[in-house]
């Protein structure tokens, strides 16, 4: 690359270079004064520079120490830089974050999104670059093969919108597939503590009955009009939410 930086494919490093796309992503974030903004995987800072102009409370989490040092030295970026694997990170003020943005590293896309849904429970907006192929899972309707945890979380979080596609040549190096930018705007509902783990258990063995994956639901399925044979892929997102609340309500 022109700055002599050798990208690490093991970290999913494809750097966005198209200025129009960068501008559109920043606009989608809808950052307001005083917002606490989180960017996962800032890379060389193509988004961070503009995020830094929009807020004085920006946190960047980057796994690659070389990139973290590069970002810290960049005087166009004013941010707290955390050089860690986001998936292992505990204290980053998650519940105070208003806006999350990430050109996601595709090898850990699902895990990063799940962690954000579990922890950044008050964020009103999330904007992600994902592999176009992942949209089928993100938007999957109940009862389809692609329906799983990701579709449940996105649906409960609020309004998920596919904004635009991003061709391979907008990145250096070019990824193998076309990408898409999605925006998620939060509804009033807040996912309760432990909900993400609960959903992962529900779908742990998709072909099994729900009761075999999560024994706690056995006494309450009828209450929600669900057959004892029901499988996770047949349950609407909001019903999962109600089931979970019934279980935690019964256990306190």
Binding site for ligand SAM (CB under 6 A): 11-16, 40-43, 46-47, 61-64, 67, 85-87, 103, 105, 108
SS3 assignment, position 103: strand
Q: Which of 46, 83, 92 lies closest to 61 in space, CA to CA?
A: 83
User: By C-beta, is 103 or 183 nearer to ligand SAM?
Assistant: 103
CA triple 111-115-117, angle to 5 deg: 115
User: By C-beta, is 105 or 148 nearer to ligand SAM?
Assistant: 105
- How far CA 43 is from CA of 13, 32, 46, in Å, comes to 7, 24, 7
User: By C-beta, is 171 or 244 nearer to ligand SAM?
Assistant: 171
Sign of CA dihedral 160, 199, 87, 189: positive
Q: Helices marked H in 88-131 — which ranges?
A: 109-119
Beta carbon of residue 87, minimum distance to ligand SAM (angstroms, whole number) = 5
Beta carbon of residue 117, minimum distance to ligand SAM (angstroms, whole number) = 16
User: By C-beta, is 83 or 213 nearer to ligand SAM?
Assistant: 83
> ω into residue 78 within 30 of 0, thus cis?
no
Beta carbon of residue 118, minimum distance to ligand SAM (angstroms, whole number) = 15
CA dihedral (130, 136, 142, 143) in degrees, to 10, reads -140
Beta carbon of residue 143, minimum distance to ligand SAM (angstroms, whole number) = 32
For ligand SAM, which residue has the nearest CB?
A: 41
Beta carbon of residue 129, minimum distance to ligand SAM (angstroms, whole number) = 7
User: By C-beta, is 42 or 148 nearer to ligand SAM?
Assistant: 42
């Amino acid at each position: 690359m022109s700055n002599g930086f050798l990208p690490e494919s093991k970290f999913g490093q494809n750097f966005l270079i198209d200025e129009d796309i960068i501008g559109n992503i920043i606009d989608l974030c809808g950052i307001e004064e005083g917002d606490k903004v989180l960017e996962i995987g800032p890379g060389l800072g193509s988004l961070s520079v503009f995020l830094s102009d929009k807020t004085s409370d920006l946190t960047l989490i980057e796994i690659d120490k070389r990139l973290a040092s590069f970002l810290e030295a960049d005087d166009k970026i004013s941010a707290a830089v955390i050089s860690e694997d986001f998936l292992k990170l505990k204290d980053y003020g998650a519940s105070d974050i208003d806006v999350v943005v990430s050109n996601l590293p595709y090898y850990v896309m699902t895990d990063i999104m799940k962690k954000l849904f579990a922890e950044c429970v008050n964020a009103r907006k999330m904007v992600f670059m994902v592999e176009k192929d992942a949209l089928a899972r993100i938007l999957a309707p109940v009862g389809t093969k692609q329906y799983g945890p990701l579709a449940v979380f996105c649906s409960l979080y609020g309004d998920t919108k596919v904004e635009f596609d991003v061709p391979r040549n907008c990145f250096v190096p070019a990824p193998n597939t076309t990408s898409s930018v999605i925006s998620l705007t939060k509804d009033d509902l807040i996912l309760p503590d432990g909900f993400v783990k609960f959903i992962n258990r529900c779908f742990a063995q998709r072909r099994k009955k729900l009761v075999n994956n999560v024994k706690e639901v056995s006494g309450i399925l009828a209450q929600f009009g669900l057959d004892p044979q029901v499988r996770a892929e047949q349950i609407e997102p909001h019903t999962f939410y109600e089931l979970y609340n019934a279980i935690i309500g019964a256990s306190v």
